Amino acid sequence: MIEKFYVDTSIWIDLYEDRKGYSNEPLGDFALKLFAMIKAKDNKLMISDILIRELEGYYSIEELNGMMKPFAKIIEKIISIKEQRIEARKIALERNLPPGDVLHAILARDNNLILITRDKDFRMLADISKSHKPEEVI
């Protein structure tokens, strides 16, 4: 069965910048292993309009294209709809969370995706979509 992964912005940045964690954890290596595993198993890597918008805040279109090109054959794009954005804003206000994070969780829930992130805010969204760190699934 094909699994579909929704990887949060921070993990894409870990991969692209080969970042290390506060305690020198190899975040870039974890991300690379995750992406390699998804590709090797012919699973799907889902990207969304909100993910692209967030990444555009850090990188040029050329950099984004280069970042995603190795995974082009397994990438599928999803677009958030008005009702999801409204729900995300409502929950974000109620829980004092960034609306973008809430929207990621809603997209993962509504599309039955495996959400990958290390952002602590997602712990407060476990009732919407359970999240995993890369190292937990590789």
Residue pair 75/67 in contact by the 8 Å Cβ criterion: no
What pTM was computed for the model?
A: 0.96
Question: Band of the pLDDT at 23, cuts 50, 70, 90?
Answer: very high
Confidence at residue 55, expressed as pLDDT on a 0 to 100 scale: 98
CA dihedral 135, 73, 15, 60 (to 10 degrees): -150
Query: For the chain, what is the radius of gyration of the CA atoms?
Result: 14
Overall average pLDDT of the 90-117 stretch? 98
The type of residue at 109 is R
Model pLDDT, residue 70: 95
Q: What is the reported pLDDT for 95?
A: 97
Which domains occur in the chain, in start order?
4-137 (3.40.50.1010)
- Give the pLDDT band (50/70/90) at residue 52: very high
